[in-house]
């Protein structure tokens, strides 16, 4: 029992340490929609993120900036950019801190802020130097952005409007 308890404590400590590790330096990233029909390529060299239809030579549309966390809608009409700190926000972050940006061919559709997902920061998990604000984010079979909160609850957004559903 003593060894099992020690292993559990060490696992918790190691997990906490990794949660506060620095983010890797930017690199070129390509992410495709769930069906694979559309792909976004984010390039820190050009500071652009382009959306292309697989098999076509040129991008359909682009947005400024380079991003590590991207979701691409199956219809090619939306790119969702996640918070640059991934699942960690600084302890001093306000509830109106942007955690997702939804883009379309004409530009920004809507920003989703922490308050759209939680009522207060007391609902977040505290790490050594940050708060964890999500366990996962993905596009479901209906194309909705689903955010799995730290408490296991899920909040869904319509990417065409950015509204909570």
* Residues 98-141: tens digit of each pLDDT: 999 999 999 999 999 999 999 988 888 888 889 988 889 999 99
Instruction: Give the pLDDT of residue 23.
Output: 57
| Residue 77 φ then ψ, to 5° | -95, -10
In a domain, residue 5? The reply is: no
* Three-class DSSP category at 133: coil
pLDDT digits (tens, 9 = 90+) for 6-65: 333 333 333 444 455 555 667 899 999 999 999 999 999 999 999 999 989 899 999 999
In a domain, residue 134? The reply is: yes
> Do 115 and 71 contact (CB within 8 A), yes or no?
no
pLDDT of 83 > 80? The answer is yes
158 or 134, which is more confident: 158
Instruction: Give the pLDDT of residue 125.
Output: 86
In a domain, residue 52? The reply is: yes
In a domain, residue 116? The reply is: yes
In a domain, residue 19? The reply is: no
Instruction: Give the pLDDT of residue 122.
Output: 87
Alpha-carbon separation of residue 40 from 17, 25, 75, 80, 153 (angstroms): 31, 19, 12, 10, 28
In a domain, residue 18? The reply is: no
Q: What DSSP line would sit under 56-101, residue for residue?
A: -SS-SEEEES--S-EEE-TTSS-EEEEPTTTTEEETT--TT-EEEE
Domain of residue 79 covers 24-157
In a domain, residue 13? The reply is: no
150 or 143, which is more confident: 143
Instruction: Give the pLDDT of residue 26.
Output: 73
Instruction: Give the pLDDT of residue 21.
Output: 56
What pTM was computed for the model? 0.81
139: Cβ–Cβ under 8 A, 6 or more apart, which residues? 33, 34, 71, 73, 74, 80, 145, 146, 159
16: Cβ–Cβ under 8 A, 6 or more apart, which residues? 127, 128
In a domain, residue 108? The reply is: yes
**Alpha-carbon distance 92 to 120, whole Å?**
13
pLDDT of 84 > 90? The answer is no
Instruction: Give the pLDDT of residue 24.
Output: 63
Could you give the number of structural domains in the chain?
Answer: 1
Instruction: Give the pLDDT of residue 104.
Output: 97
């Amino acid at each position: 029992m003593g060894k099992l308890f020690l292993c559990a404590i060490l696992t918790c400590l190691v997990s906490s340490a990794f949660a506060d590790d620095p983010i890797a330096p930017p690199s070129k990233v390509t992410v495709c929609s769930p069906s694979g029909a559309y792909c976004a390529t984010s390039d820190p060299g050009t500071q652009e993120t382009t959306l292309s239809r697989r098999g076509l030579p040129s991008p359909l549309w682009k947005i400024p900036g380079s991003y590590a966390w991207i979701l691409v809608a199956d219809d090619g009409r939306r790119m969702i950019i996640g918070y640059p700190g991934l699942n960690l926000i600084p302890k001093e972050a306000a509830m109106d801190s942007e955690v997702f940006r939804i883009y379309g061919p004409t530009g920004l559709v809507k920003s989703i802020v922490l308050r759209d997902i939680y009522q207060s920061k007391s609902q977040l998990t505290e790490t050594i130097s940050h708060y964890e604000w999500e366990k996962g984010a993905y596009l479901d079979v209906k194309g909705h952005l689903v955010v799995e909160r730290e408490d296991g609850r899920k909040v869904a957004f319509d990417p065409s409007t950015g509204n909570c559903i």
